[in-house]
Structure 1
């Protein structure tokens, strides 16, 4: 575990340095391109941040495998694999909204053992090491204790093909919304997961995600006492997380085929 702590401290240092650069550039001119759809953005800071982080990892941990959103996979001989999203919530970042983050998860022999989610504009650092609990800015966090569905506040999101596919999450929202206290759609899967971990949200679900969206956040929720379901589907990952009291009810209510 000492090795994991060292890796987490390095990841935090690099993420904060990259986040400082993101903040410096947030209000200035910026190159923004579209990827798979008109609203699936990549900015020059996505690319810069990913390059910065991968170069740091290659220098300090040569041989480690990496899986990244923008540049793909980096092979290596190590049992460690870093899973990196340089800016989760790129649309928010490009529009000047503060709900975006750097997400870094580390797997050891296929199991996630380190999770870091750093939100520069919010000034919040979520972190976890397997077996060591979850923390926000150094303070221990736990998932909520809400047990009544009609008092629960949940988060969700929509896939980029929402306008062309019937599997666009709207049917689930129609099932869930009348029965809950509130619904939020904030635009960063990694940060949404962290909101469940610290009890701000009682649960969250989304479809057609990638592992770099959730790798760090899933460990943070697990270490905060939440419950998790990740299902690999044809067009990505279906993720459902909540506190322990609501999990079974939500899983039955959001009934994926």
Structure 2
């Protein structure tokens, strides 16, 4: 399988759908918002973008499976599976905040082989494929070399509908803010992850995530030399629905703090 060729085709598909999303952002009407659940927003833009992605990705690997956020196409138990978030950062998009992305991963059995995250407004294409380093717009990237949490900039996400663990998370925020340069909440897990991959963030942690939120970004972090675990330090992030991604040098210190307040 020529993963480089597949990756290049995925990049072109992501860019095409990104053009659609960018165009819709210029005239989006808040009346078009739908609710999947409490504070869980979706719009016709998410759904149409996903349909475009699925249609074009099927041309690359006919018969491959799909795991999609908006359920426009879900086909399981295939040798190859696309894991797609057509608009990661929907709340940002709806409110006109310019940080949202397209996330596409290809898995062969249970292993990632291609990952693409397209941050639409800045035109930043992050990607990697099996056997290759990670790239941003054709330039090789790597995680930061910072070994001190006290000199780190971290990213996280805030609970927006699962509030039962909110007190523990707030205590975790409180301690982490005192241990690092700062915490950022951008609003797109895929972007948070690729910002770790290119060294803008030294680490990122969040819980209550789905496979389509992290599949591509986590792979790109690993290809950029970073480390991705769950809150217990294990490798399983999909079923755990939690992720810690870092440059590897600050992983132990971040994990120690997470376990203190937010043990799995």
TM-score calculated relative to the size of structure 2 = 0.90
Tell me what 1:180 maps to: 180
Alignment of 1:27 with 2:26, yes or no, is yes
- Paired with 2:77 and 2:150, the residues of 1 have a C-alpha distance of 50
Q: Matched residue pairs, number?
A: 254
Instruction: Write out aligned runs for 1:1-257 (5 A).
Output: 1-2=1-2, 4-30=3-29, 31-37=32-38, 39-71=39-71, 74-75=74-75, 78-162=78-162, 164-167=163-166, 169-230=169-230, 237-255=241-259, 256-257=263-264
Q: How far does residue 234 in structure 1 lie from its aligned partner after superposition?
A: 11
SS where residue 241 of structure 2 aligns?
strand
Q: How far does residue 72 in structure 1 lie from its aligned partner after superposition?
A: 6.0
Note the residue ranges of structure 1 that are not aligned, 5 or more in a row: none
- Paired with 2:110 and 2:238, the residues of 1 have a C-alpha distance of 21
Q: Is the 8 A contact 1:63 1:76 kept in 2?
A: no
- Paired with 2:91 and 2:76, the residues of 1 have a C-alpha distance of 32
SS where residue 48 of structure 1 aligns?
helix
- Paired with 2:113 and 2:175, the residues of 1 have a C-alpha distance of 35
Divergent runs of 4+, >4 A: 231-236
SS where residue 81 of structure 1 aligns?
strand
Q: How far does residue 32 in structure 1 lie from its aligned partner after superposition?
A: 1.4
- Paired with 2:6 and 2:67, the residues of 1 have a C-alpha distance of 16
Q: How far does residue 161 in structure 1 lie from its aligned partner after superposition?
A: 1.9
- Paired with 1:242 and 1:75, the residues of 2 have a C-alpha distance of 32
- Paired with 2:213 and 2:136, the residues of 1 have a C-alpha distance of 19
The structure-2 alpha-carbon separation of the partners of 1:76 and 1:180, relative to structure 1 and needing over 3 Å to count, comes to closer
Q: Is the 8 A contact 1:117 1:191 kept in 2?
A: yes
SS where residue 74 of structure 1 aligns?
coil
Q: How far does residue 29 in structure 1 lie from its aligned partner after superposition?
A: 3.3
- Paired with 1:233 and 1:200, the residues of 2 have a C-alpha distance of 22
- Paired with 2:210 and 2:57, the residues of 1 have a C-alpha distance of 21
